[in-house]
Amino acid sequence: MKKIILDVDTGIDDALAISYAVHSPALEVLGITTTFGNITVEEATRNTVQILEFLGYSQIPVYAGAKRPLFRELKEKAKLFHGENGLGNIELPPPQTPVQKQEASAFMIEQARRHPGKLTIVTVGSMTNLAKAIRDEPEMTALVERVVVMGGAVTVPGNRTPVAEANICADPEAAELVFQSGIPVTMVGLDVTMQTLLTREHLALWREKGTDVSRLFADMCEFYMNAYAQVGNVRGCGLHDPLAVGVVIDPTFVTAVPMHVSVDTSGGLSDARTIGDRRKHPAAAANVDVCLEVDHERFVEHFLQNVF
């Protein structure tokens, strides 16, 4: 089993990723850390505990993390796609499980030291917690087996700006710090996640299943799909965060290409763009494995069979 920490800003696709991860026999979820992005870190922490309790996995510890970017102001919440509360405005019972007192980045460091060379960190929100961990403990780059990032867009347009993906845009300096740190990184960006599709037909099957969990996720994802329809995608929604978890479960879901990736932190029109350089040049030494192809049918089938 792969030992993972899942770092989330729990909106709707984060909730799907959490459920996919905790139900996977291939993964041991050591803990879930929270950050800002889709919503505030306080809301992300609440949502994470609520989802875990609803799924029956309240024993998995939750660690609250960064409240704001390393250097910038906090951006607005993604209310169009995730609703006011981050879960499509669907209310869950108030959380009962206490959040851990240890800070998220400190938990990452602790687990990296405890499991040297065997820990995978999956980030599906801003990378601020991981950037803080690397800044506080430079040995993180050698202790962590791999970081799998849902973020970036190298060959396709962005979804937060014409060139920038939302998770990178949340804290570009944190992403740049992680990419240039030397830690092994796989980028699961819009290049591949936009090729995955959860459809309304899938939601109908979840409703037919008739469990509390399947109905909850169907209702949340209907909100998500309605938001997608407003921006032109009427067929369904991308499985962004679940694909990052899927790549840890089975790396053959994707084809990745090593390249040098940097993040534009200029603050200009191309701010937060992830720039991939494939040149065989000393100044462009590969630092990230960028996923460019995905076996989307096989991945979606696996996700549907294992999400709950």
Tens digit of each residue's pLDDT (9 = 90 or more) over 54-113: 999 999 999 999 999 999 999 998 898 999 999 999 999 999 999 999 999 999 999 999
* Residue 282: per-residue pLDDT: 64
**Residue 201, pLDDT score:** 97
Average pLDDT over every residue of 199-223:
97
Distance CA 133, CA 129 (A): 6
Pick the catalytic residue: 82, 202, 240, 302? Answer: 240
9 is catalytic: yes
- How far is the C-alpha of 278 from the C-alpha of 287, rounded, in Å? 11
Residue 20 in tokens: 């996919």
> What single-letter DSSP state applies at residue 100?
B
pLDDT in tens, 57-66: 999 999 999 9
d(CA 35, CA 47): 12
pTM over 0.75: yes
The three-state secondary structure class of 104 is helix
Active site residue 219: no
The shares of helix, strand and coil residues in the chain, as percent rounded to the nearest 5, are: 40, 20, 40
Phi, psi of 292 (to 5 degrees): -115, -20
Whole-number pLDDT of residue 231? 82
Q: Are 263 and 154 in contact, with CB atoms under 8 Å apart?
A: no
Residue 281: pLDDT band by 50, 70, 90 thresholds? low
Indicate the average pLDDT of the chain. 96
| Mean predicted confidence (pLDDT) in 244-266 | 97
Taking only the tens place, the pLDDT of each residue in 23-49 is 999 999 999 999 999 999 999 999 999
pLDDT of residue 202: 97
Q: What is the pLDDT of residue 283?
A: 64
Burial of 246 (0-12, 13-18, 19+ CB in 10 A): buried
Q: pLDDT value at position 129?
A: 98
The amino acid at 102: Q
